[in-house]
């Protein structure tokens, strides 16, 4: 089983200096690549001078996360791709449990490790935490993270569990599955493209897993912080894209209407918080969604849609009305 770790980089020399050493030190089982998205800093020179064992792929343009990986992975030969953010610190033995799962479970197509906060190492990190899920309206959330509420890691998620989506901050995926799905949807540019990819994989009959014995630390916010208006725009728009592409036709329009209404509530909430830029970001997200709706609708998968894609009816209601902040309170196995 050949594994390739592929780190997407754009003007991230400082991040590579800080985080690449841990990847090189603890990843003897894998080949390491840096896919450079047309950086204008000295990232490539830094790698060539200090880490000659790391292969550099130079993309011609900065096409964001989706196109960046789609272009780069065409040049990588491996059985398993590990898509790793440039601001992730890996730990000793982090690959062992992942490799074991792929070797012993042929249904595993996509896998993620436990993702903890680099700055608060006892807490889960926003991007991925202990595995991603959806509610009935298509809102993504994680074990260990519901909206901005982060749980402390007390070993409650030290398991192996099937999840719905894996984080793009550290995602392992079989090459054959990535290729069969056509890679990431480049219309997303960045944010939630991994949710869409996993949703398409689930519709195609594949399984996504979380492995708690593998642990990484994510800095987060190095490209866009969680409360950056551009990130708000991409998250709201791209989530709507995923609903149109991946839900059964009978459910799509009803859920889209509910989502648009709740997005409006979110915009009003931003107004009361004096976060005008975020309010306008939601408006822009809706306008972009309306423009691209026909295009997204044409992308709907031909395979049978899975009906049980959610674990709770409304994460918004549970979190903001009932003040649920813990996944195990929300979803009882």
DSSP characters over 181-244: TTSS-GGG-SSSHHHHHHHHHHHTT-EEEEEEEEEEEE---SSS-TT-HHHHHHHHHHHHHHHH
Phi, psi (deg, nearest 5) at residue 275: -100, 70
Homologous superfamily of 3-218? Spore Coat Polysaccharide Biosynthesis Protein SpsA; Chain A (3.90.550.10)
Examine the pLDDT at 224 and tell me if it is beyond 70.
Answer: no
Q: Which residue has the higher pLDDT, 244 or 304?
A: 244
Question: Once rounded to an integer, what is the mean pLDDT over residues 188-196?
Answer: 95
Question: Once rounded to an integer, what is the mean pLDDT over residues 14-29?
Answer: 98
Tell me the whole-structure pTM to 2 decimals. Answer: 0.95
DSSP 8-state secondary structure symbol assigned to residue 26: T
SS3 331: coil
> pLDDT tier at 226 (50, 70, 90 boundaries)?
low
Placement of tokens 């000793």 in the chain: 92
SS3 79: coil
Q: Which residue has the higher pLDDT, 133 or 250?
A: 133
Check: CB of residue 123 under 8 Å from CB of residue 115.
no
Residues in the chain: 333
pLDDT tens-digit readout, 116-141 = 999 999 999 999 999 999 999 999 99
Question: Once rounded to an integer, what is the mean pLDDT over residues 62-84?
Answer: 97
**CB count in 10 Å sphere of residue 122:** 10
The reported pLDDT for the residue numbered 223 is 57
The reported pLDDT for the residue numbered 333 is 66
Burial of residue 305 (CB within 10 Å: 0-12, 13-18, 19+) is: middle
CA-CA distances (angstroms) from residue 227 to 8, 58, 278? 22, 30, 8
What stretch(es) of the chain map to CATH 3.90.550.10? 3-218
**Which residues are registered as beta bridge partners of 210?**
112, 161
> pLDDT tier at 220 (50, 70, 90 boundaries)?
confident
Examine the pLDDT at 154 and tell me if it is beyond 70.
Answer: yes
Examine the pLDDT at 21 and tell me if it is beyond 70.
Answer: yes
């Amino acid at each position: 089983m050949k594994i390739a770790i592929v780190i997407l980089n754009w003007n991230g020399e400082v991040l590579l200096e800080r985080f690449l050493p841990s990847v090189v030190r603890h990843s003897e089982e894998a080949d390491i690549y840096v896919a450079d998205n047309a950086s204008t800093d000295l990232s490539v020179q830094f790698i060539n001078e200090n880490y000659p064992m790391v292969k550099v792929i130079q993309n011609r343009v900065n096409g964001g996360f989706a196109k960046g990986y789609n272009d780069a992975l065409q040049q990588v030969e491996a059985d398993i791709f590990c898509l790793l953010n440039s601001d992730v610190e890996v730990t000793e033995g982090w690959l062992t449990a992942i490799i074991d799962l792929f070797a012993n479970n042929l249904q595993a197509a996509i896998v993620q490790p436990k993702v903890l906060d680099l700055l608060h190492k006892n807490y889960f990190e926003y991007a991925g935490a202990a595995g991603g899920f959806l509610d009935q309206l298509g809102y993504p959330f994680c074990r260990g993270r519901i909206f901005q509420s982060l749980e402390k890691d007390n070993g409650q998620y030290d398991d192996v569990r099937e999840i719905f989506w894996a984080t793009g901050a550290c995602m392992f995926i079989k090459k054959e599955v990535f290729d069969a799905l056509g890679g990431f949807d480049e219309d997303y540019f960045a944010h939630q493209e991994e949710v869409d990819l996993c949703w398409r994989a689930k519709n195609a009959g594949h399984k996504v897993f979380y492995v708690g014995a593998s642990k990484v630390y994510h800095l987060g916010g190095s490209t866009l912080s969680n409360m950056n208006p551009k990130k708000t725009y991409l998250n709201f728009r791209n989530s709507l894209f995923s609903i149109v592409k991946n839900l059964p036709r009978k459910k799509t329009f009803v859920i889209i209407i509910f989502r648009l209404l709740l997005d409006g509530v979110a915009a009003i909430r931003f107004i009361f918080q004096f976060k005008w830029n975020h309010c306008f970001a939601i408006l822009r997200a809706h306008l972009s969604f309306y423009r691209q709706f026909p295009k997204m609708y044409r992308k709907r998968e031909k395979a049978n849609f899975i009906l049980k894609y959610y674990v709770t009816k409304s994460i918004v209601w549970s979190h903001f009305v009932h003040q649920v902040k813990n996944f195990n309170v929300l979803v009882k196995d």
